[in-house]
Amino acid sequence: MEKIKKIKRLILREKIDGYFIPKNDEFFGEYVSHYNDRLNFISNFSGSYGFSLILKNKNYLFVDGRYTLQAKYESGKFFNIIKLEKKLPLEIQNKKIKIGFDPKLITRKTLNFFFNNKNCIPQPLDQNLIDVIWKRKVYNNKKKFYFLPKQSIGQDFRIKIKKVVKYLRKIGADYLFITASENNAWLLNIRGKDTKFSPTPHCYILIDKNENIKFFCSLEKITSSFKKKFHKIKFFQISDLNKILSSISKKKFIIDRHTCSYYFEDVITKKNYVLNFQDPIYDFKSVKNNIEIRNIKKAHIYDGAALTKYLFWLRRNFEKRKITEISAAKKLYEFRKKNNCFKFLSFPTISGSGPNGAIIHYNATKKTNRILNKGDIYLVDSGGQYEFGTTDVTRTISLKNYNKRIKKIFTAVLKGHIAVTNFKLKKNTTGSSIDKKARKYLQQKNLDYAHGTGHGVGYFLNVHEGPHAISKNNKIVFKEGMIVSNEPGYYEKNRFGIRIENLIYVKKDKKKLIFDNLTMAPIDKNLIDLNMLSTNEKLWLNSYHKKVFESLKKLMNFNEKNELKKACSAV
């Protein structure tokens, strides 16, 4: 591939042994604009997470378990695909090598984790080598930042600022440098149009213990009314950030080690001290208040109605007309768009039938696009952004598939899903203990899945949000108001994929903490082996479906209501 050859020539010019290419741009958000997706440019890999290491004689693409199959299909011709859970970059070499990188696109924490080895010597470069060879038009996004409407705000921004300042004083910090756009959005109750699937505003905030705030962004995105609303905040161009950070000395900083680049951390640490604390906004933001939970429930009813109508349409039509994975995803989008509260998708819809369902984060293309056929099972993972909530839901449905083994596996996944919702939360419950319960019934069949069981979800923000999660190593304690996905699954290469995903939240019930469902959409009973369900599991399924019916019936027409009644009937 000519692009790789050009990079290798630049590697020789820079007198380094290799070059590191991450997925993210300088704002470290989940989704990157196509003109900033340097990893996709060099490797053809389209997944949301991964990075490449190009050496003089070898090319590596590192991905996690969600993307191993996808990476092989998209990039396997020119790259060695490495699963991160098995091997890190520092483990691929046994001799000293110098690795070049763009200091604005990687954090020091990530750098130390991937290259903390006497054989790997990281070398920051002034110029991004991909940008040298990639001649493209960079779109100048001038779309304005905006405020959340009053009815969507859970807490006034002034209260949030005082909360942050109180925290700074408590731990003895002078400054918090907020580099995660999602955290800035939360702090000021603002949103933007800088990424396709998340309403985040690309900006940085510097706040001190005396409530002085400096806001850095492209000033073209700021209106006079925006400035007026925040009259105590000083606004600057992003290009002024280096100068202002450099002017501060002998102060104690908190930085976000997930999103503060090596470049800016270097500027700060030259004259200041960085405390060993994380940006507290991640914790503040993870706990939704009563207003936010009430709004999120409304978003899920609207979203569940759209998804359910779509699934009914699909069942009625897949044998009558040619429906493909791509046309099916477009149809689901049309159902969502009918609701005026819907803004846009929260991530690219995963629409996979048969063997494509086995690719965990599958993205249908013209080349891979399958027709939905009788006998397949079909996996659709999708979500919407509403001004009062973010949704994420997966349903696996039978297209008249009667395979007994598939039913047994689907039921094992369902049992794990129910076990998560019914998990008895204690004061110190973390995601790692819940994750074990989710996998239990699959592991009894020597089966498992290569992804976490659940991730946090934002409030009209990122569909994936930390710090809590249901995964093998997550140690964050669950608190009232936290939202998390519940999505066990199973994937058999070249055959099928199964996933059942609801969003659930932690609520207080008679002084106890329990999980309660937010997602409202029927689970396909045609794929359930009822003999495998206990009495309590059947009661859970019937109770859930009764709630789905009551929540959605008003949004259905006469025929859809009859279909809903059947889909939600007791087992």
Q: Whole-angstrom Cα distance, residue 446 to residue 433?
A: 19
Residue 87: its pLDDT value, please?
A: 86
- Residue 139 maps to a domain: no
The enclosing domain of 489 has a CATH number of 3.90.230.10
Instruction: Decide if 256 contacts 278 (C-beta within 8 A).
Output: yes
Average pLDDT of span 136-157: 93
Task: Show the tokens assigned to 280.
Answer: 């507290």
- Residue 220 maps to a domain: yes
Could you tell me if 126 and 150 lie in one domain? no
pLDDT reading at 94 higher than 80 = no
Q: Whole-angstrom Cα distance, residue 349 to residue 326?
A: 9
Q: Whole-angstrom Cα distance, residue 551 to residue 299?
A: 12
Residue 90: its pLDDT value, please?
A: 80
Could you tell me if 501 and 372 lie in one domain? yes
Paired strand residues for 55: 18
Q: Whole-angstrom Cα distance, residue 308 to residue 223?
A: 40
Residue 1: its pLDDT value, please?
A: 83
Could you tell me if 124 and 164 lie in one domain? no
Could you tell me if 473 and 548 lie in one domain? yes
Amino acid identity of 434?
Answer: I
Q: Tell me what percent of the residues of the chain surpass a pLDDT of 90.
A: 92
Q: What value does the mean pLDDT of the chain take? A: 96
* Total tally of structural domains belonging to the chain: 3
User: Does pTM top 0.85 for this prediction?
Assistant: yes
Could you tell me if 280 and 426 lie in one domain? no
Residue 455: its pLDDT value, please?
A: 98
Q: Whole-angstrom Cα distance, residue 186 to residue 466?
A: 13
Could you tell me if 320 and 375 lie in one domain? yes
Could you tell me if 336 and 447 lie in one domain? yes
Chosen domain end from 252, 285, 318: 285
Paired strand residues for 516: 505
Q: 252: Cβ–Cβ under 8 A, 6 or more apart, which residues?
A: 172, 173, 174, 175, 272, 273, 274, 275
Supply the DSSP symbol for 501.
B
Supply the DSSP symbol for 478.
P
Helices (H), 353-497: 404-421, 431-443
Q: Whole-angstrom Cα distance, residue 324 to residue 371?
A: 4
- Residue 212 maps to a domain: yes
- Residue 140 maps to a domain: no
Paired strand residues for 456: 465, 484
pLDDT reading at 93 higher than 80 = no
Q: Is 447 helix (H, G, I), strand (E, B) or coil?
A: coil
Chosen domain end from 285, 310, 340: 285
At residue 95 the predicted structure's pLDDT band, cuts being 50, 70 and 90, is: confident
User: What is the residue whose two structure tokens read 């002024």?
Assistant: 240
- Residue 40 maps to a domain: yes
Could you tell me if 382 and 513 lie in one domain? yes
Could you tell me if 311 and 280 lie in one domain? no
Could you tell me if 203 and 271 lie in one domain? yes
Chosen domain end from 233, 256, 285: 285
- Segment 110-136, tens digit of pLDDT: 999 998 878 888 999 999 999 999 999
3-state helix, strand, coil in the chain (%, to 5): 40, 20, 40
How far is the CA of 541 from the CAs of 379, 408, 417, 551, 570, in angstroms? 20, 16, 11, 15, 8
**DSSP class per residue in 151-214:** GG-SS-HHHHHHHHHHHHHHHT-SEEEE--HHHHHHHHTEE--SSSSS-----EEEEETTS-EE
Could you tell me if 265 and 308 lie in one domain? no
The enclosing domain of 274 has a CATH number of 3.40.350.10
At residue 99 the predicted structure's pLDDT band, cuts being 50, 70 and 90, is: very high
Q: Whole-angstrom Cα distance, residue 212 to residue 217?
A: 17
Which has more confidence, 556 or 231? 556
Residue 476: its pLDDT value, please?
A: 96
- Residue 518 maps to a domain: yes
Torsion of CA 95, 96, 101, 107, to 10 degrees: 90
- Residue 310 maps to a domain: yes
Start-to-end CA distance of the chain, whole Å, equals 56
Could you tell me if 121 and 265 lie in one domain? no
Residue 157, sorted as left (phi over 0), alpha (psi -120 to 50) or beta, turns out to be alpha
Sign of CA dihedral 149, 150, 153, 156: positive
Average pLDDT of span 317-328: 97
- Segment 31-72, tens digit of pLDDT: 999 999 999 999 999 998 999 999 999 999 999 988 998 999
Q: Whole-angstrom Cα distance, residue 362 to residue 150?
A: 37
For 536, half-sphere exposure in the C-beta direction (CA atoms, 13 angstrom radius) is: 5
- Residue 165 maps to a domain: yes
Average pLDDT of span 299-321: 97
Residue 224: its pLDDT value, please?
A: 94
Residue 91: its pLDDT value, please?
A: 82
- Segment 506-530, tens digit of pLDDT: 999 988 999 999 999 999 999 999 9
Domain that holds residue 115: 2-133
pLDDT reading at 198 higher than 90 = yes
